[in-house]
Amino acid sequence: MDFKFSEEIAAVQDVARKFVDKEVRPRVAEDEKSHTFQRDLVDQMAALGFFGCPIPEEYGGNDMGFLAHTVICEEIAKVSGSLRAAFNMQTMGTAREIYQFGTPEQKEKYISDLVSAKTLGCIGITEANAGSDVGSLKTTAVKKGDVYILNGSKNWITYAQVADVGVVYAYTDPSKPYKGMSGFIVDMHLPGISSGPTAEKMGWNACPTGELFFDDVEVPAENLLGGKENQGFPCVMAGLDNTRLTAAAGALGVCQGLIEEATKYAQEREQFGRPIGQFQMVQEELARMIVETEAARWLTYRCAVQKDEGMLHNTLETCTAKYYTCDVASRVADGALRILGAYGYSSEYPVERLLREAKLYQILEGSANVQKMIIATDALGYRTANKR
């Protein structure tokens, strides 16, 4: 692996950093406090091409690839997890999923509008009793003439309250666990669809999260993802191979943001007549944070490079990167809090917010335990992770 970025990726990283410093950092604390959805910033990111990296130019993307996508996500997540979420809503869980599995007509109709943020997307998988076990979905879709009648509910859905289009999963044949599942591209403004907010969250407060309810919703048959019934479960799993990469990139950004804040504080804060950065216990803490973040970075970048080289179904490497990086983010957050002490517990410094954001990465897109299960069962020979 070449550990040096191409000029193109280095340039887009610089663009992302400048965007964060100019547009995001000055307002992130207030937007999080007021629970303000930053639609204007999402639009600006779309205009900069941030959502189009793993999407071909013919569908409105720039085809820069998965590593470019990863690097941009990392930069955004250094400051805002709420904005990082947009990369799955507009790209990986919607546009990219439709690109990989949709019909030519579906690709033409939906992808470019998602990449440009003309429409906002969401992913409808999680339900009250279907989290780690995706196969436990209760939402159903029954064929009736040229429409499917969609009934059920979803929860913990990012962008539930603001989405225009969603990739929603339901059972078309409930008698076949896992194998009877189908995906649908759903106009979220159809009659029978309603939404409501989730309970108050610990973090990501500028990112709308809610419940979705489907009451006899008539979805055109032409919106069946890929045009075939009972093909949903492979789509879900392949989609997670993409969204988990974005989650790892986000956790990586949180790590780096915390390191930068802790380093700056350790250089400025004085105790016993000198900066606390001169004390060995602070140095040990910071060194561990840096080394673990670098290890996480290369696991994440490896995953992205594999995808750029055509290995899209690198489930094992994706789960490894997602598990380790998200776990490291939590430890780095704890380390930064120890360095800043009481100030790290105060909203006066970004560490408090980044610590809350770090904890979520261990849960979203498949919990840490799910990732470990996939890794271990592959090693034991019980189930091959990279099946395709």
Query: Using CA atoms, how far apart are residues 152 and 198, in angstroms rounded to an integer?
Result: 17
The answer to whether residues 124 and 99 touch, using CB atoms and an 8 Å cutoff, is no
Which two three-digit tokens encode residue 306?
């594999």
Rounded to 5, what percent of the chain is helix, strand, coil?
55, 15, 30
- Tokens 């849960």 -> residue: 363
Catalytic site residue 229? no
- Residue 151 sits at φ, ψ, to 5 deg, of -135, 140
Query: Using CA atoms, how far apart are residues 139 and 152, in angstroms rounded to an integer?
Result: 4
CA-to-CA dists, residue 330 to 194, 196, 337, 354, angstroms: 35, 29, 11, 10
Q: Which of 336, 244, 350 is nearest to 290 (CA)?
A: 336
The answer to whether residues 115 and 95 touch, using CB atoms and an 8 Å cutoff, is yes
Query: Using CA atoms, how far apart are residues 89 and 85, in angstroms rounded to an integer?
Result: 7
DSSP classification of residue 20? I
> What residues are paired with 169 via a beta bridge?
183
DSSP 224-281: BGGG-TT-HHHHHHHHHHHHHHHHHHHHHHHHHHHHHHHHHHHHH-EETTEEGGGSHH
Residue type, 34: S
**Choosing from 74, 285, 317, 365, which is the catalytic residue?**
365
DSSP 311-376: -TT-HHHHHHHHHHHHHHHHHHHHHHHHHHGGGGGSTTSTHHHHHHHHHHHTTTTS-HHHHHHHHH
Q: Which residues are catalytic?
A: 365
